[in-house]
Amino acid sequence: MERYRSYSSFLEESFGQKVYKICLNGGFTCPNRDGTLSREGCHFCSQGGSGEFSENAALSITDQIRLGTRQTARKYHGSSYIAYFQAYTGTYGPPSRLRQLYMEALAQEEILALAIATRPDCLGDDILDLLVQCNAIKPVFLELGLQTCHDSTAAAFNRGYKTSIFEDAVIRCARAGIRTCVHLILGLPGEDRTMISRTIDYVNRLPVGGVKLSMLHVLKNTPLAAQYAAHPFPVFTLEDYTDLVVSCIEELRPDIVIERLTGDGPRDLLIAPRWSLDKRRVLNTIHRKLKARDTWQGRRCPHDQVCRQDSYD
């Protein structure tokens, strides 16, 4: 019994085979770092801009894909891939440059789809039109950082946009036929269980296709690390985090693909929680608790939270 809609199952349903991500670096920056909005960035974000696991931006996209496919094939024996623009804000740049990067990736025969991590305030009409053009060639999966639906929390960690901007972006993407995945962080300072549940409820009511869950990571050389050192705040234990994830799975709309259950903090930067480095242990604990409680995705999701994609067409 599959107790939640996993990303691996979704990919096999979509492409009829195993598909692996290659993390690319398009040399982007972020409006929350280059001075357009701020120079601090989101307070939890490292200088790598979530791109610590991506390829070298000095290489061409073609060369990054070749390197990534060789590395992935050795480990997983895969032959089909998603080109994942992971580092920083993947739609932040002139449309002409974005077109060149995206089309170069899509031109590779082994690439079956394009995934782009970005901010909802970096999706102007010209960018969305480009994504629609790409989506007509091969599927485009857009990943949007929300982290929380609570504007008070978002302001405290310097997210740089209001939740209404996120909602508008998701609806515009749905109308354009672009699938979206939402990034959520559990355990943000000041948020209790009720606030996290409200964020899940909020996501349930929007036309999103996927969600990524992660615990809050405290990383070196970030404003959050300075805050943690000066005024330590509680971070999850393994038991508390896995209990919360099981509850979130139960509350999450059953058609939403759960693309991540735990985060990957770079080992050399991670201050807390150190137990999160053992990803297999975290996942095994979540799976064990789901089975022990005989529970599943959507078990506690109200029926009125079924969001129809076609209601936004």
Q: Is 46's pLDDT higher than 90?
A: no
Asked if the structure places residue 308 within a domain, the reply is no
Residue percentage of the chain with pLDDT more than 70: 94
Average pLDDT, the chain: 93
Q: Both tokens of residue 280?
A: 């297999």
pLDDT reported for residue 265: 86
Measuring CA to CA, how many Å separate 310 from each of 171, 177, 288? 11, 10, 36
Residue 142 falls inside a structural domain: yes
CATH number of the domain to which 250 belongs: 3.20.20.70
Is 312 contained in some domain?
no
Q: Quick one: tokens of 103?
A: 């089309």
- pLDDT recorded at residue 48: 60
Domain housing 164: 7-293
In a domain, 2, yes or no: no
Task: Note the pTM of the prediction, 2 decimals.
Answer: 0.93
| Residue 77, in any domain of the structure | yes
Using an 8 Å Cβ cutoff, are 242 and 290 in contact?
Answer: no
What are the residues whose beta carbons fall under 8 Å from the beta carbon of 126, sequence distance 6 or more? 95
Using pLDDT thresholds of 50, 70 and 90, give the confidence band for residue 53. Answer: low
In this predicted structure, the answer to whether residue 77 has a pLDDT above a threshold of 80 is no
- The residues facing 191 across adjacent strands are none
pLDDT at 251 over 70: yes
Residue 299 lies in a domain: no
* Separation between Cα atoms, residue 311 and residue 313, nearest integer Å: 6
Distance, CA of 113 to CA of 38 (rounded, Å)? 32
Segment among 23-32, 45-54, 225-234, 270-279 with least mean pLDDT: 45-54
Kindly state whether residue 301 falls inside one of the protein's structural domains.
no
Q: Is the pLDDT of residue 273 over 90?
A: yes
Enter the tokens of residue 194: 């009720």
Domains in the chain: how many in total?
1
Mean of the pLDDT values across residues 240-262? 98
Q: What is the pLDDT of residue 304?
A: 57
Whole-number pLDDT of residue 146: 98
The answer to the question of residue 66 being in a domain is yes
Q: What is the pLDDT, as a whole number, of residue 303?
A: 62
DSSP 53-85: TS--TTS-HHHHHHHHHHHHHHHH----EEEEE
Q: Kindly report, residue by residue over 148-165, the tens digit of the pLDDT.
A: 999 999 999 999 999 999
pLDDT at 311 over 80: no
**Is the pLDDT at 52 greater than 80, yes or no?**
no
Evaluate whether 7 touches 14 at the Cβ level (below 8 Å). no
**Residue burial 67-86, b: 16+ Cβ < 10 Å; e: rest:** ebbeebeeeeebebbbbbbb
Task: For residues 217 and 161, give the distance between their C-alpha atoms in angstroms, rounded to a whole number.
Answer: 21
Query: How much is the average pLDDT of 92-121?
Result: 97
Please enumerate in sequence order all residues whose Cβ is within 8 A of that of 177, keeping only pairs 6 or more positions apart, or say none: 132, 135
Q: Can you give the pLDDT at residue 50?
A: 58
